[in-house]
Each structure stands twice: as C-alpha cells, then as structure tokens.
Chain A
Amino acid sequence: MPETVTVVVNGISVTMPAGSMVSAAILKTGITAFRRSATGEPRGPLCGMGRCFECRVTIDGEAHCRSCQTVCRDGMDVRTDG
C-alpha cells in the first residue's frame, strides 16, 4: 500500500499522504477559493463533513463534487472554480 498519492490541482501536481482528502490537497497548493458563490464571492470549505457544499470542485470532469469527502487517488484531475 503506497504511502503517498499524487493528484493534479489546476494543472499542478500535489503529493499527499495516502488517505488524504482532495480538499486538503487543494489547500496545500495555497488555493483558498475552491469556487465562487452565487454573487461571485470566493468560497472554501466550512464544515469538513459533507454538509455545507462549499468545498465543491470538478473532479475528473464531474462538477459539484464535495472535495472534503473525496479521497485522493493517483492521477485525479481536480479543477477549482475560484
């Protein structure tokens, strides 16, 4: 079982401990705006447990994925909307 995993966030490779969530990988790159709100405010994770929906990003082409509940997998393509 590999100890680390590498995902790609907005084209940048990020290596994380195995079992990390995509949200942590995004924050590790220094990105704080995961998405834009209805009126264009930058937003990032709030609840960390899949209920606030502020952490949504596009993962492997699927929009509105809750990054705080998605485990990083090697080669995952993550796009923020900030």
Chain B
Amino acid sequence: MTAIKVCDVVIIGAGIVGAACAAECVREGLSVAIVEAGIVGGGATAAGMGHLVVMDDSEAQFALTRYSQQLWDEVSAELPREVEHDACGTIWIAADDEEMAEAERKARFYSERGVAVEILDAHALREAEPNLREGLVGGLRVPGDSVIYPPCAAQFFVDQARTQGAELFLGTAVEAIDADSVRLRNGTSISAGVIVNSAGSWSPSLTPGLEVRKRKGHLVITDRYPRFLRHQLVELGYLKSAHSLTADSVAFNIQPRKTGQLLIGSSRQFEVDDAHVDPSILRRMLERAVEYLPGLRKLSSLRTWTGFRAATPDKLPLIGPHGEHPRLYLATGHEGLGITTSLGTAKLLLAQIMNREPVIPIAPYLPARVQESLHA
C-alpha cells in the first residue's frame, strides 16, 4: 500500500470540528493532513445554525460551551468578514410561569458561574423584541452569546492550518482506518501517529460500534428583514425537545443573520435517513415559530433544507482516544453544539494528544465513558 503522506496527525472530516482541530494541531507544531470526502464545512456545519451559545443541561455541557465561547471571543477579531460574527446575544423565552421559573433557575446557574445574564419581565421582553406576541411571561437574556456563518469559519480554520503546512485532500473519501494509517478509496493511504475521526454523522461508518446516531433537523431562511429581530430567540420548551430520545419534536429557535435574513428552526428526528424536507415537520416547526412571532407569517421564505446532527446517548461529544485502537482519537458526536464547542474540542483533543493537563476536566467527554457504560 502506497503511503502518499506520512504525518503526525491525519484528521478525517473538514467540518468545523475537524477544521478547528487541524488549526490547533499546526499551532502545536505537528504536521497535519486533512481528508475530506466532499467540501470544507459541507455536512452539519453547512446545515445548522451558527449559534455560539452557553448551555446548562449539565455541568459538563456548561463547562465545554463556556470554555469554547471564551475561545471564540478571543478569536472573533481575527475572523474574516464572511464569517459574519455578530454578538447579538440570546433570549430564552418563557411562555408561562413554569418556563419563567426555569428561566430564573438558568439565570442563577449562569451567574453563579460568571456568565452575564439579565432576567426580562413581560414588558422588558417586548421592548427587547417588539415582534414577539403579547402574553409571553418573560425571558432570560444572555448577552455573551453570538452567531456566525459556520462554513466560512470552517474554511478559515482550514486556511489557517494550510498556511502553517497542513495538507488538505478534498473530494477524497476514506475507505477504512487501519492500524497506523488511513486508507483512501483511491487505493493510497496516509500514515500517521494520530488519526482523528471528526467525520460527524459519518463517523460510525469509519469506526464501527460508535454510539453516534443521526438526528435530522429542518431549517428555513427568509429574505432580508433587517430590523425584525435583534437576538437569537429560543423557547425554554427547547430543552424538552432536545431531551427526547425517540419522538419527533420541534421547538422554536430563530436567528437573525447579519444580512437581515432570519434563520428559522428547529426540529429533531431520530431514525430518519433521508434528507428530504418533510412538509409535516416543516409545518409544525413554522407553526411553532409564528406562535411566538406572528409577523413571520407574511415574510418571504427563500429556502428550506435539512441536516444531520451527530448525537450520542448522553448528549455529550466524544473527545479523546478511542481506547481499543492505539492511534485513533475521536472528535465527534456534538449534536446541536458542534459550532460552539468546536474550539474547546480542539483544545481538549490536543491536550490529550500531547499528554498535558486539559483546561477543563476531560472525563465527561472521554469515549471510554460510553464503552464503560455499555460493558457495565
């Protein structure tokens, strides 16, 4: 088998996670090859909302999103214009008293951990977002959250990596991960000391047994309506949707892009393999959205599409050594938080490759945790 390249690290998948990992590796002085079957940022990176958000489902999720958000803040000045970084903030919306209680709990959780938050009552909510319907109870504003256009961010990290010597193999599919190399479909191979599977929803096809399942989402984008929305809006019922492991669900989630276009989501479906837009899911999702923003009805929508998130059983990504394969590392399973946590993932991965103390505790994201629970 001809090895067309020998390097320190080969990264499979040039989505935002793989791209961020590649950039981090070259920063460390490692030689890198990036192998991508399609185009840069063409998977979930292309399909999803580029919401840089701090989340509190668990301590581990909070730690990773918070760490990552700080890294994004550090790099935001360098990001090219096409990445459209916009520090618009998030407002979590409470439609009833139960959700308002949740907003208050969230507020305490975040402020105890140093994240700036602001509780909004009904009046303040309408002031912050005049297009929201009457009758909502209030919300939680998180000003530190922001939005980006992910494909250009992935390209930026790939470009950074290449400037420092990384080699990019585009349109190059991986046939298999061997003991010390990655075998490409064209018959050649890339030999490396470390192999990183950051292939998102394709990662199980390369690493059999990986507990990563596809979770389909739908999105709609509108024409430009520059003053319609100021913040990313998410309903607090979103958590109920993200928690379900089986049922199809929709939740209100909408993002104002720097262009003035509105990106409308979200939906979650397991066990659906085809990428077709499902009109009934789309309808449920849009009906939910117009419940919160009645003015959305008359707006012009330009496109609808779907994407597949890579989901794990405990909703935390897999970052670290595979365990059984001596050279294989995983950086996948980020579900709906891949854009945010791409930067934290890259740092944690490098810390493990270089055998250094990671900045945040690594245990919750280790692939071994899943294998252990399987064998338990």
Contacts and interface: CB of A to CB of B under 8 A. Distances in A.
Query: A and B from one assembly?
Result: yes
A24 to B, nearest CB: 23
Interface in A33-62: 38, 62
B259 A64 contact: no
A62 B297 CA distance: 12
A74 to B, nearest CB: 23
B259 A62 contact: no
B298 interface: yes
A64 B259 CA distance: 15
Interface string B290-322: 000000001010000000000000000000000
The size class of the interface chain A forms with chain B is: under 10
Contact of A38 (B225, B259, B298, B300): B259
Nearest to B259: A38
Contacts of B224: 64
A63 interface: yes
Majority-rule SS of A interface residues: strand
A63 B259 contact: no
Nearest to B300: A64
Contacts of A64: 223-224, 300
B320 to A, nearest CB: 42
Nearest to B228: A63
Contacts of A62: 298
A82 to B, nearest CB: 15
Interface string B225-255: 1000000000000000000000000000000
B11 to A, nearest CB: 34
Nearest to A63: B225
A51 B118 CA distance: 45
Contacts of B298: 62
Nearest to A62: B298
A62 B295 CA distance: 11
B217 to A, nearest CB: 26
Contacts of B223: 63-64
Contacts of B300: 63-64
A43 to B, nearest CB: 13
Interface in B181-231: 223-225
A62 B298 CA distance: 8
B284 to A, nearest CB: 25
Interface in B243-273: 259
Name which of A38, A62, A63 has the most chain B CB atoms within 10 A of its CB: A63
Interface string A17-38: 0000000000000000000001
B297 to A, nearest CB: 11
A63 B300 CA distance: 8
A25 B155 CA distance: 45
A33 B300 CA distance: 21
A69 B223 CA distance: 18
A44 to B, nearest CB: 18
Nearest to A35: B224
A54 B295 CA distance: 24
Contacts of A63: 223, 225, 300
8 contacts: A38-B259, A62-B298, A63-B223, A63-B225, A63-B300, A64-B223, A64-B224, A64-B300
Q: Give the top 8 A-B pairs by smallest Cβ distance, nearest first.
A: A64-B300, A64-B223, A62-B298, A38-B259, A63-B225, A63-B300, A63-B223, A64-B224
Given A62-B298, A63-B300, A64-B224, 5 more contacts: A38-B259, A63-B223, A63-B225, A64-B223, A64-B300
